[in-house]
């Protein structure tokens, strides 16, 4: 799919300054993705954390900042608002579109680089990105280092052992 472009003056101002319309795709992508909260929201959405309250609790982010980033991601076509029932009220959750799901190589690259070149404040076992079928670790292109398979999203799992030893499945794209 083609990611939708922001509309309206406010969003144009906040999400498309300078490099958003340039010929360089790194500049265009970086204009949306060059924001630490955006990256953290995408990480959480990839693990199925899709509701405002869940994201706020997971990230320790201020309401207005979270609202702004969810708006940017929705306008860019990376997340989509989907209604759900909460008791008697209809609320919305924010789920990955195909464009959002296709940010997986970016998240893998961040995880790999962060593991190699940064350190946690207190020692913690490293995150692992694995092929849930065979337990092998994936490379940046999503190939399994053990069995060699090109691992589809549905067979990729993340292990975040500082929280739990469980294999975490990745959220599917909507639609």
Binding site for a second copy (CB under 8 A): 1-3, 5, 18-40, 43, 60, 77, 99, 102-103, 105-122, 124, 126-127, 139-143, 160, 162-163
Cβ closest to a second copy, residue 94 vs residue 159: 159
Minimal distance in Å, beta carbon 154 to a second copy? 19
| C-beta of 1 vs 86, nearer to a second copy | 1
Q: Residue 104's closest CA among 67, 63, 151, 55? A: 151
| Nearest by Cα to 43 from 108, 132, 136 | 108
Tokens of 32: 């949306």
Minimal distance, residue 83 CB to a second copy, in Å: 25
Q: Where are any strands of DSSP class E within 117-172?
A: 128-131, 156-159, 168-169
| Min CB(110)–a second copy separation in Å | 4
Nearer to a second copy, 63 or 90 (CB): 63
Cross-strand bridge partners of residue 80 = 95
Nearest distance from C-beta of residue 165 to a second copy, angstroms: 14
The Cα 99–Cα 104 span in angstroms is 10
């Amino acid at each position: 799919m083609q990611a939708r472009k922001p509309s309206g003056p406010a969003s144009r101002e906040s999400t498309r300054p300078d490099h958003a319309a340039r010929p360089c795709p790194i500049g265009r992508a970086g204009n949306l993705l060059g924001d630490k909260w955006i990256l953290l929201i995408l990480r959480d959405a990839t693990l199925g954390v899709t509701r405002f309250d869940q994201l706020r609790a997971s990230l320790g982010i201020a309401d207005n900042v979270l609202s702004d980033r969810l708006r940017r991601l929705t306008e860019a076509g990376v997340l989509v608002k989907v209604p759900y029932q909460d008791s008697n009220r209809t609320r919305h959750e924010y789920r990955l579109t195909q464009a959002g799901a296709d940010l997986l190589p970016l998240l893998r690259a961040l995880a790999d680089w962060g593991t190699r070149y940064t350190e946690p404040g207190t020692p913690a076992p490293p995150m692992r990105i694995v092929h849930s079928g065979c337990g092998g670790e994936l490379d940046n292109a999503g190939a399994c280092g053990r069995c060699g398979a090109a691992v589809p999203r549905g067979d990729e799992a993340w292990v975040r052992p500082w929280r739990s030893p469980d294999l975490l499945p990745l959220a599917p794209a909507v639609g």
